[in-house]
Amino acid sequence: MQRSTLVTAMMFVMALLASTRAAADIRIIQSPGGAVRPFLELFDKVRETGERVVIDGPCFSACTLVLSIVPGERICVTKRAVLGFHAARSVDRRGRFYAEPEASEAVLQAYPGPVRDWISRRGGLTSRLLLLKGRDLAAMYPRCR
């Protein structure tokens, strides 16, 4: 293949990828959460790309930050979607967890109003895991098509 033909073909493939990238979906199938920073960085990138987020399974703890970062109109849920919320916590050098009340309040305030209200009606963010699913979740976010 000639160099100019190869370059033209590569440019076509890159243009095709760029044009379909905005229509791509990020699918959350199962996330137990974890360290906050990687989730913030990932969801910032997703917000910038314009991709839609499909929540299609458990999205717990730091994973729920997607609700605070990606615009709500770009999030949809399936019937398998479950969001799990709890208070922020850190781990000391000995592996013991301790509460982070200021971080919990900041996270709560960052959630969209309907989610924040749902959490507040259930006692707020505590060490107990609150599960948002089914009809309650479908009332806040559209079903994926």
Reduced to 3 states, what is the DSSP secondary structure of residue 125?
coil
User: Cα–Cα distance between 58 and 29 in angstroms, integer?
Assistant: 7
**What is the per-residue pLDDT across 74-119, written as a single tens digit (0 to 9) for each?**
999 999 999 999 999 998 999 998 999 999 999 999 999 999 999 9
Which tens digit of pLDDT belongs to each residue from 15-63? 333 334 445 799 999 999 999 999 999 999 999 999 999 999 999 999 9
For residue 63, the SS3 value is helix
The pLDDT value given to residue 11: 32
Q: What is the pTM of this model?
A: 0.81
What is the DSSP-derived secondary structure letter of residue 65? G
- Please say whether the beta carbons of 45 and 18 come within 8 A: no
